[in-house]
Amino acid sequence: MSEPEQRATEEERRAVKPRAVEAQPPETLAKARISAPKETAAGPPAVMTAARHAFGEMGVMRSLKVLGKLNQYDGFDCPGCAWPDPDHRSDAEYCENGVKAVAEEATKKRVTPAFFREWTVEMLSKKSDYWLGKQGRLTHPMVLRSGSSQYQPIEWDDAFALIAEHLNALDSPDEAVFYTSGRTSNEAAFLYQLFVRLFGTNNLPDCSNMCHESSGMGLKEVIGVGKGTVTLDDFEKTELIFIVGQNPGTNHPRMLSTLQKAKQSGAKIIHVNPLPEAGMKRFRHPQKVSGWLGKGTELADVFAQVRINGDVAFFKGVMKHLLHEEARRDTEVIARQWIRKKTLGLRTFGEDLLRESWGVIVEESGVSKEQIVEIAEMVIAAERIIVCWAMGLTQHKNAVANVQSIVNLLLMKGCIGKPGAGVCPVRGHSNVQGDRTVGITPRPSKDFLKRLGKAFKFEPPEESGYDTVEAIKAMREGKAKVFFAMGGNFLSAAPDTEFTAEGLQRCRLTVQVSTKLNRAHLVTGEEALILPCLGRTERDLQAGGEQFVSVENSMGIVHASRGSLDPFSVDLLSEPAIVAGLAQAVLGADHPVDWNALIANYDRVRDHIAAVVPGFENYNQKVRSDLGFYLPNAAREGVFNTDTGKAKFTIHPIPRHRLEDGQFLMMTIRSHDQFNTTIYGLDDRYRGVKGERRVIFMNPDDAREAGLKQGDVVDLLSHFNGEERMARRFIVVPFDLPRRCTATYFPEANPLVHVDHTADRSNTPASKSVVISLLPPSDSAPFDYNQSVDGQVGGA
């Protein structure tokens, strides 16, 4: 490493390096084919698509071996979504997108040091995220030296020494940021937060800050726990299910089989969303004969097409009708006795509901009074109700209010804390909930810090750290000088891409623990490291023998995960081993924590978790059972550990969006060929888009009024507090959306999300409600567009 006096000056560090930062550079526009959206999810097309991905990346024999262990008792947890496994599992307990996730990790392709000798960082930065991910697994630690244009191999000890040099040279531990992805296991996450707090900071932002932070905050305040309260068994006992701001067919496909069972048990399903989704129309179970030969199961009984961010208005309308009927009918409509015993605030909440105008409710929700009343009558008829949601609710300025509006409805019906009823926030990454449980948070509770300090005999820092948005700003302002990411693709996942890139580029050192190449490796600090780690599919061999890790799913079940493939490279380390190596280098070999002993046998890590985190008592014994174990959840039992000891009704105004002429409200969504920032392909089969990701879905009437037709190319300009952001060259796709509402894919549209446009209190980026205008493309380069393959316009 160069001597300090040879390093770049502070001014040079702050200069933005000329590297492309977009997930898919506009120049890569491909041939797009648009057809009518699908009416059915899964079935034979899902099986064939999954097989094509698996066999193409892993080969037939390797695919059969690894998929035979996916989500099995003696196997590994899917690295995709966090939907729970059933107690009784089939031999193929996975979905199409789970297969894609495994194929991405267990691919035979490799990114070796030889690859980096052929490609400069500048050359790689011009490639799309899709291309980068398809190059294969990283095999060796790599370093990008100051002033260099190419990554070079580095040995692990030298990499740890480089990080230690940078961290120990900081004026304060708070000048470092330690980010975590939701893929990180409980064991790795616990060791990671321990090291970071021993180093002296609570700067532990994570991916939850960008997705379900609003859920955790909203639920904790009103029911005493920041997690869901239902189990899979509850879906077989419920009478009514709301699916709100969520697309299970793409983001949590195994949830469709749960919904199918619920329907077969007599439940009704209401889908509340701006876009109709194939997964909520019909489901063809790929492991059932009827899924191959029949039309499948119709899932949603009612589709309430709300405007973007019309959910508070919608639920207020439903609850207003409940109160009206409670006053009019002789029979009980709301759970009066339960409410008196278990809750506070109904009177003032009810007064606020009665003051709301039906005109405002209908205008802001986008749903007619007749349909709202129809849905409210379904609520009145049901005694057991589950409400599920995802980021369609949690990424708005009023996201916490969205979540608490759902709780209000369930409290009115007494539907939290009894079988077949409750809240179900569906997490999007396989251990994002577990990471938070074991301490990955910039704002730990005093009780957690006290327990951690007692277990390891030190005084943890008490001052709150940076969340994700705060960390981006701190880097941009020069307050944070070292960025360390335990997994993830931070640059592509974060809002305000150019702003975030400038922050990363102003760091002295950026470090990425990764399995595959991504854009965060290409937009870096003055120096950068790529540290390759084991994946979920691989065996973890340590001094004490083969180890396993554990994860927590969306329903609070902790269970084991054991890889079965030989490590992809001899130079890969497990995430716990990377943390241990880092800690020893930074804190010194004479530090009282015996990191080597912890890594030799992960049982020792779990013993410490059991001592620090309530609910993990007898961790090593319980996690070895086939089904794992449930963490305590008082609200599930009808006990509300709030500051008053009761659940709370909360009052929230209806959000009002005032768009100027020519403006639209945009939300970001996933395609069916991606998981978070990982792009499996360029198709969105269910929405009828093939071969392209830079598209903007918009109402057909809006398109016609704007003088646009399918296939036209536009630039997108976002507006926030007098500031603008630009994203170039998106293809217009008319689609069934409410007027003045549009949708674009994440992360291509992330440059439009201003860093200050966040949810109140949770500070989650408001990626689902961005005000935009459409402009003629600033680059007149020709675009090769093929008309619809079947002559139909999607959604028109």
Q: pLDDT over 70 for what percent of the chain? A: 94
Q: What is the mean pLDDT of the chain?
A: 93
pLDDT of residue 429: 79
Tokens of 446: 């005093």
**Residues across the chain:** 796
What confidence tier does 293 reach under pLDDT thresholds 50, 70, 90? Answer: confident
Q: How confident is the model at residue 152 (pLDDT cuts 50, 70, 90)?
A: very high
The answer to whether residues 320 and 354 touch, using CB atoms and an 8 Å cutoff, is: yes
Contact 37, 683 (CB under 8 A): no
CB 765 within 8 A of CB 758: yes
Q: Is the distance from CB of 386 to CB of 421 less than 8 angstroms?
A: yes
8 A C-beta contact, residue 136 and residue 109? yes
Across the range 4-33, mean pLDDT stands at 54
Stretch 234-254: mean pLDDT, rounded? 96
Residue 44: C-alpha distances to residues 49, 283, 686 (Å) = 9, 11, 13
Long-range contacts of 543-550 (CB under 8 A, 24+ apart): 543/596, 543/599, 543/600, 544/600, 544/601, 545/601, 547/574, 547/601, 547/602, 548/602, 549/185, 549/186, 549/187, 549/188, 549/576, 549/602, 550/185, 550/186, 550/187, 550/434, 550/606, 550/623, 550/628
Pick from 145-149, 468-472, 623-627, 777-781: least confident: 777-781
151 and 523 Cβ atoms separated by less than 8 Å: no
If you average pLDDT over residues 141-150, what whole number do you get? 97
Asked whether the beta carbons of 141 and 113 are under 8 A apart, the reply is no
User: What is the pLDDT at residue 784?
Assistant: 32
Say what percent of the chain tops pLDDT 90: 89
Radius of gyration of the chain (CA): 25
**pLDDT at position 4:** 34
- The helix or strand, by DSSP H or E, that contains position 358, with its residue range, turns out to be helix 358-365
Structure confidence by residue, pLDDT tens digits, 473-503: 999 999 999 999 999 999 999 999 999 999 9
What's the average model confidence in pLDDT over 528-557?
97
- Asked whether 744 and 696 are in contact (CB, 8 A), the reply is yes
Say what the pLDDT of residue 783 is. 33
* pLDDT for the residue numbered 183: 87
Strand partners, 486: 180, 513
Residue 102 pLDDT class (50, 70, 90 cuts): very high
As a whole number, mean pLDDT of residues 658-677 equals 96
Q: Which residues pair with 742 in a beta bridge?
A: 666, 698
Note the pLDDT of residue 88: 85
How many angstroms from the chain centroid is the CA of residue 292?
31
Cα–Cα distance, 416 to 712 (Å, whole number): 48
| Span 4-32, average pLDDT | 52
What CA–CA distance (Å, rounded) separates 50 from 321?
A: 45
Q: What is the mean pLDDT of residues 418-438?
A: 93
Query: Is pLDDT at 785 greater than 70 in this prediction?
Result: no
pLDDT tens-digit series, residues 368-408:
999 999 999 999 999 999 999 999 999 999 999 999 999 99
